[in-house]
Amino acid sequence: MNTRSRLRRALDNPMLFCRQINRLYHRRFGQREHNTDGVNVFAEDWDTLCILDACRYDMFARCSGLPGRLEQRESKGSATTEFLTANLDGRDLRDTVYVTANPQLYHNREAIDVEFHDVVDVWREEGWDEEYGTVLPETVTEYALRTAEEYPNKRLVIHYMQPHYPFIESETDFDKDHLAGPQRENVWNQLLFGTLDIEREDIWNIYEANLERVLPHVETLLENIDGKTIITADHGNMVGERAFPLLIREWGHPRGIYTTELIHVPWLVHESGPRRKVRIGKSENQSETVDQDIVADRLEQLGYAE
Protein backbone atom coordinates (compact mmCIF):
# COMPACT_ATOMS: atom_id res chain seq x y z
CA MET A 1 0.00 0.00 0.00
CA ASN A 2 1.55 3.32 -1.06
CA THR A 3 1.53 6.55 0.92
CA ARG A 4 -1.42 8.01 -0.99
CA SER A 5 -3.51 4.89 -0.39
CA ARG A 6 -2.64 4.91 3.31
CA LEU A 7 -3.61 8.58 3.58
CA ARG A 8 -6.92 7.97 1.79
CA ARG A 9 -7.66 5.03 4.09
CA ALA A 10 -6.83 7.13 7.15
CA LEU A 11 -9.09 9.97 5.99
CA ASP A 12 -11.92 7.48 5.52
CA ASN A 13 -11.61 6.27 9.09
CA PRO A 14 -11.30 8.69 12.02
CA MET A 15 -9.42 6.18 14.20
CA LEU A 16 -6.76 5.63 11.55
CA PHE A 17 -6.49 9.39 11.12
CA CYS A 18 -5.90 9.77 14.88
CA ARG A 19 -3.33 6.97 14.74
CA GLN A 20 -1.50 8.80 11.96
CA ILE A 21 -1.38 11.99 14.03
CA ASN A 22 0.10 10.00 16.92
CA ARG A 23 2.60 8.41 14.55
CA LEU A 24 3.76 11.82 13.38
CA TYR A 25 4.29 12.83 17.00
CA HIS A 26 6.29 9.72 17.92
CA ARG A 27 8.40 9.90 14.78
CA ARG A 28 9.06 13.57 15.43
CA PHE A 29 7.31 14.58 12.24
CA GLY A 30 9.54 12.45 10.03
CA GLN A 31 12.84 13.12 11.77
CA ARG A 32 13.25 9.45 12.73
CA GLU A 33 12.11 6.20 11.11
CA HIS A 34 12.39 4.06 14.25
CA ASN A 35 12.81 4.31 18.00
CA THR A 36 16.34 5.60 18.24
CA ASP A 37 16.51 4.77 21.96
CA GLY A 38 16.03 1.06 21.26
CA VAL A 39 18.66 -1.63 21.80
CA ASN A 40 20.92 -2.56 18.90
CA VAL A 41 20.41 -6.31 19.20
CA PHE A 42 23.34 -7.29 16.97
CA ALA A 43 25.77 -5.23 19.02
CA GLU A 44 24.88 -7.27 22.12
CA ASP A 45 26.75 -10.36 23.32
CA TRP A 46 24.92 -13.63 22.57
CA ASP A 47 25.21 -16.89 20.69
CA THR A 48 21.48 -17.35 20.09
CA LEU A 49 18.86 -14.62 19.90
CA CYS A 50 15.33 -15.93 20.34
CA ILE A 51 12.60 -13.53 19.19
CA LEU A 52 9.00 -13.93 20.35
CA ASP A 53 6.84 -11.98 17.92
CA ALA A 54 4.73 -9.24 19.51
CA CYS A 55 5.58 -10.17 23.11
CA ARG A 56 5.24 -7.33 25.59
CA TYR A 57 7.47 -7.22 28.65
CA ASP A 58 4.78 -7.23 31.33
CA MET A 59 3.00 -10.26 29.86
CA PHE A 60 6.26 -12.19 29.57
CA ALA A 61 7.25 -11.32 33.15
CA ARG A 62 3.88 -12.57 34.36
CA CYS A 63 3.78 -15.81 32.34
CA SER A 64 7.35 -16.99 31.89
CA GLY A 65 9.02 -19.52 34.12
CA LEU A 66 12.01 -19.86 31.81
CA PRO A 67 15.39 -20.06 33.55
CA GLY A 68 17.69 -17.08 33.36
CA ARG A 69 17.99 -13.42 34.35
CA LEU A 70 15.11 -11.26 33.17
CA GLU A 71 15.79 -7.67 32.17
CA GLN A 72 13.79 -5.11 30.22
CA ARG A 73 14.91 -3.37 27.05
CA GLU A 74 13.44 -1.00 24.49
CA SER A 75 12.94 -2.22 20.95
CA LYS A 76 13.87 -0.11 17.96
CA GLY A 77 10.46 -0.75 16.42
CA SER A 78 6.79 -1.14 17.22
CA ALA A 79 6.21 -3.52 14.30
CA THR A 80 8.23 -6.33 12.74
CA THR A 81 9.24 -4.52 9.57
CA GLU A 82 10.38 -1.52 11.58
CA PHE A 83 12.39 -3.77 13.94
CA LEU A 84 13.99 -5.64 11.04
CA THR A 85 14.85 -2.51 9.08
CA ALA A 86 16.31 -0.71 12.10
CA ASN A 87 18.44 -3.67 13.19
CA LEU A 88 19.39 -5.29 9.86
CA ASP A 89 19.62 -2.70 7.11
CA GLY A 90 23.20 -2.21 5.99
CA ARG A 91 24.62 -5.01 8.14
CA ASP A 92 27.07 -7.77 7.20
CA LEU A 93 25.86 -10.75 9.24
CA ARG A 94 27.70 -13.57 7.55
CA ASP A 95 28.43 -14.93 11.03
CA THR A 96 24.70 -15.38 11.66
CA VAL A 97 21.91 -17.70 10.49
CA TYR A 98 18.32 -16.45 10.69
CA VAL A 99 15.61 -19.07 11.31
CA THR A 100 12.23 -17.41 10.95
CA ALA A 101 8.52 -18.18 11.04
CA ASN A 102 7.73 -14.64 9.89
CA PRO A 103 7.73 -13.85 6.13
CA GLN A 104 8.46 -10.14 6.60
CA LEU A 105 12.19 -10.25 5.83
CA TYR A 106 11.54 -12.10 2.59
CA HIS A 107 8.66 -9.77 1.76
CA ASN A 108 10.91 -6.72 2.29
CA ARG A 109 14.09 -8.24 0.85
CA GLU A 110 14.46 -5.45 -1.73
CA ALA A 111 14.23 -2.74 0.93
CA ILE A 112 16.34 -4.29 3.71
CA ASP A 113 20.00 -4.61 2.75
CA VAL A 114 21.43 -7.40 4.90
CA GLU A 115 23.68 -10.36 4.26
CA PHE A 116 23.21 -13.37 6.52
CA HIS A 117 25.27 -16.52 6.26
CA ASP A 118 21.96 -18.27 5.66
CA VAL A 119 18.23 -17.71 6.11
CA VAL A 120 15.90 -20.58 6.97
CA ASP A 121 12.34 -19.60 6.05
CA VAL A 122 10.23 -21.95 8.17
CA TRP A 123 7.02 -20.34 6.84
CA ARG A 124 7.50 -21.87 3.40
CA GLU A 125 5.35 -24.83 2.31
CA GLU A 126 6.83 -27.46 4.62
CA GLY A 127 6.75 -25.35 7.81
CA TRP A 128 3.36 -23.69 7.42
CA ASP A 129 0.35 -25.11 9.26
CA GLU A 130 -2.72 -24.74 7.04
CA GLU A 131 -5.16 -25.55 9.83
CA TYR A 132 -4.05 -22.68 12.07
CA GLY A 133 -2.77 -20.28 9.42
CA THR A 134 0.62 -19.83 11.05
CA VAL A 135 3.86 -21.64 11.94
CA LEU A 136 3.52 -23.66 15.14
CA PRO A 137 6.20 -23.13 17.82
CA GLU A 138 7.21 -26.78 17.94
CA THR A 139 8.00 -26.55 14.23
CA VAL A 140 10.27 -23.55 14.80
CA THR A 141 12.13 -25.35 17.60
CA GLU A 142 12.61 -28.40 15.37
CA TYR A 143 14.09 -26.26 12.60
CA ALA A 144 16.20 -24.29 15.09
CA LEU A 145 17.83 -27.35 16.64
CA ARG A 146 18.50 -28.82 13.23
CA THR A 147 20.09 -25.53 12.14
CA ALA A 148 22.23 -25.38 15.28
CA GLU A 149 23.70 -28.77 14.38
CA GLU A 150 24.28 -27.73 10.79
CA TYR A 151 25.96 -24.43 11.70
CA PRO A 152 27.89 -24.99 14.98
CA ASN A 153 30.11 -21.94 14.38
CA LYS A 154 27.44 -19.34 13.61
CA ARG A 155 25.28 -17.12 15.74
CA LEU A 156 21.61 -18.03 15.49
CA VAL A 157 18.50 -15.85 15.38
CA ILE A 158 15.33 -17.87 16.05
CA HIS A 159 12.14 -15.94 15.26
CA TYR A 160 8.97 -17.57 16.63
CA MET A 161 5.58 -16.33 15.43
CA GLN A 162 3.79 -16.51 18.80
CA PRO A 163 2.32 -14.81 20.79
CA HIS A 164 1.34 -12.95 17.60
CA TYR A 165 -2.06 -14.17 16.49
CA PRO A 166 -3.76 -16.36 15.20
CA PHE A 167 -4.55 -17.58 18.71
CA ILE A 168 -3.81 -21.21 18.02
CA GLU A 169 -5.13 -22.82 21.21
CA SER A 170 -8.34 -20.77 21.47
CA GLU A 171 -11.75 -21.76 20.16
CA THR A 172 -12.25 -18.31 18.63
CA ASP A 173 -12.88 -17.88 14.94
CA PHE A 174 -12.61 -14.09 14.57
CA ASP A 175 -8.81 -14.34 14.49
CA LYS A 176 -8.80 -17.22 12.01
CA ASP A 177 -11.65 -16.16 9.70
CA HIS A 178 -10.88 -12.45 9.41
CA LEU A 179 -10.14 -12.89 5.71
CA ALA A 180 -13.71 -14.10 5.12
CA GLY A 181 -15.23 -10.75 6.13
CA PRO A 182 -16.14 -8.10 3.57
CA GLN A 183 -13.47 -5.67 4.83
CA ARG A 184 -10.75 -8.31 5.38
CA GLU A 185 -9.48 -6.43 8.44
CA ASN A 186 -7.25 -8.05 11.01
CA VAL A 187 -8.40 -8.58 14.58
CA TRP A 188 -6.67 -5.50 15.97
CA ASN A 189 -8.20 -3.21 13.34
CA GLN A 190 -11.63 -4.70 14.01
CA LEU A 191 -11.17 -3.75 17.66
CA LEU A 192 -9.86 -0.30 16.73
CA PHE A 193 -12.85 0.35 14.47
CA GLY A 194 -15.34 -1.05 16.97
CA THR A 195 -16.60 -3.80 14.65
CA LEU A 196 -15.57 -6.68 16.96
CA ASP A 197 -17.56 -7.02 20.17
CA ILE A 198 -15.37 -8.67 22.78
CA GLU A 199 -14.18 -7.64 26.22
CA ARG A 200 -10.61 -6.43 26.65
CA GLU A 201 -10.05 -9.01 29.39
CA ASP A 202 -11.05 -11.82 27.04
CA ILE A 203 -8.63 -10.62 24.36
CA TRP A 204 -5.88 -10.35 26.97
CA ASN A 205 -6.51 -13.89 28.20
CA ILE A 206 -6.39 -15.54 24.78
CA TYR A 207 -3.36 -13.45 23.82
CA GLU A 208 -1.64 -14.54 27.01
CA ALA A 209 -2.56 -18.16 26.25
CA ASN A 210 -0.79 -17.81 22.90
CA LEU A 211 2.37 -16.81 24.77
CA GLU A 212 1.97 -19.75 27.12
CA ARG A 213 1.66 -21.98 24.05
CA VAL A 214 5.15 -21.06 22.80
CA LEU A 215 7.08 -21.00 26.10
CA PRO A 216 7.50 -24.79 26.55
CA HIS A 217 9.04 -25.01 23.08
CA VAL A 218 11.43 -22.17 23.89
CA GLU A 219 12.36 -24.11 27.02
CA THR A 220 13.08 -27.16 24.86
CA LEU A 221 15.38 -24.96 22.78
CA LEU A 222 17.21 -23.77 25.90
CA GLU A 223 17.65 -27.33 27.15
CA ASN A 224 19.23 -28.46 23.90
CA ILE A 225 21.44 -25.58 22.84
CA ASP A 226 24.69 -24.42 24.43
CA GLY A 227 26.04 -20.93 24.86
CA LYS A 228 24.54 -17.60 25.79
CA THR A 229 20.93 -17.26 24.68
CA ILE A 230 18.80 -14.11 24.80
CA ILE A 231 14.99 -14.36 24.77
CA THR A 232 13.44 -11.11 23.57
CA ALA A 233 10.76 -9.71 21.23
CA ASP A 234 10.70 -7.61 18.10
CA HIS A 235 7.99 -5.40 19.64
CA GLY A 236 5.08 -5.49 22.06
CA ASN A 237 1.36 -5.12 21.54
CA MET A 238 -1.36 -2.78 22.75
CA VAL A 239 -4.51 -4.30 24.19
CA GLY A 240 -6.86 -1.35 24.51
CA GLU A 241 -4.53 1.02 26.38
CA ARG A 242 -4.57 4.73 25.55
CA ALA A 243 -2.02 5.99 23.06
CA PHE A 244 -0.79 9.58 23.01
CA PRO A 245 -0.90 12.48 22.37
CA LEU A 246 -4.41 11.75 21.00
CA LEU A 247 -5.83 9.48 23.70
CA ILE A 248 -7.42 6.84 21.50
CA ARG A 249 -7.62 3.22 22.60
CA GLU A 250 -5.01 1.36 20.60
CA TRP A 251 -4.88 -2.29 19.58
CA GLY A 252 -2.16 -4.35 17.97
CA HIS A 253 1.25 -3.04 17.00
CA PRO A 254 1.06 -0.10 14.58
CA ARG A 255 4.30 1.15 13.10
CA GLY A 256 5.90 4.28 14.47
CA ILE A 257 4.09 4.54 17.82
CA TYR A 258 6.44 4.14 20.76
CA THR A 259 4.31 3.57 23.84
CA THR A 260 5.52 1.46 26.76
CA GLU A 261 3.30 -1.43 25.69
CA LEU A 262 4.82 -1.42 22.20
CA ILE A 263 8.53 -0.95 22.78
CA HIS A 264 9.23 -2.42 26.23
CA VAL A 265 10.30 -6.00 25.55
CA PRO A 266 11.77 -8.84 27.62
CA TRP A 267 15.49 -9.54 27.64
CA LEU A 268 16.03 -12.88 29.34
CA VAL A 269 19.67 -13.96 29.58
CA HIS A 270 20.29 -17.71 29.79
CA GLU A 271 23.74 -19.33 29.81
CA SER A 272 24.42 -23.06 29.58
CA GLY A 273 27.43 -25.03 28.44
CA PRO A 274 30.34 -23.73 26.36
CA ARG A 275 30.08 -20.61 24.27
CA ARG A 276 29.88 -21.02 20.52
CA LYS A 277 33.07 -20.26 18.57
CA VAL A 278 31.61 -18.00 15.93
CA ARG A 279 33.28 -17.63 12.55
CA ILE A 280 32.33 -15.52 9.55
CA GLY A 281 31.54 -17.48 6.41
CA LYS A 282 30.41 -16.69 2.91
CA SER A 283 26.71 -16.21 2.30
CA GLU A 284 24.93 -19.47 1.47
CA ASN A 285 21.48 -18.00 1.24
CA GLN A 286 20.46 -18.93 -2.29
CA SER A 287 16.91 -20.04 -1.56
CA GLU A 288 14.40 -20.37 -4.34
CA THR A 289 11.96 -17.58 -5.05
CA VAL A 290 8.55 -18.01 -3.43
CA ASP A 291 5.44 -17.25 -5.46
CA GLN A 292 4.27 -13.78 -4.43
CA ASP A 293 0.69 -15.00 -4.02
CA ILE A 294 1.90 -17.47 -1.37
CA VAL A 295 3.80 -14.74 0.48
CA ALA A 296 0.78 -12.42 0.35
CA ASP A 297 -1.51 -15.18 1.61
CA ARG A 298 0.81 -15.98 4.51
CA LEU A 299 0.98 -12.33 5.52
CA GLU A 300 -2.79 -11.92 5.32
CA GLN A 301 -3.42 -14.96 7.47
CA LEU A 302 -1.05 -13.51 10.06
CA GLY A 303 -3.03 -10.27 9.99
CA TYR A 304 -0.59 -8.01 8.18
CA ALA A 305 -2.61 -5.41 6.31
CA GLU A 306 -1.40 -4.36 2.90
Measure CA 132 to chain center. Answer: 17
Q: Which CATH class is domain 3-301?
A: alpha beta
The pLDDT of residue 9 is above 90 = no
pLDDT, residue 8, reads 63
- In this prediction, residues 190-199 reach a mean pLDDT of 90
Query: Collapsing DSSP states into helix, strand and coil, what is residue 265?
Result: strand
Over residues 230-269, the pLDDT tens digits come to 999 999 999 999 999 999 999 999 999 999 999 999 999 9
Nearest-angstrom CA–CA distance, 211 and 230: 17
Over residues 164-180, the pLDDT tens digits come to 989 998 877 777 665 55
> Residue 238 pairs with which residues in a beta bridge?
252
Question: Mean pLDDT for the chain?
Answer: 91
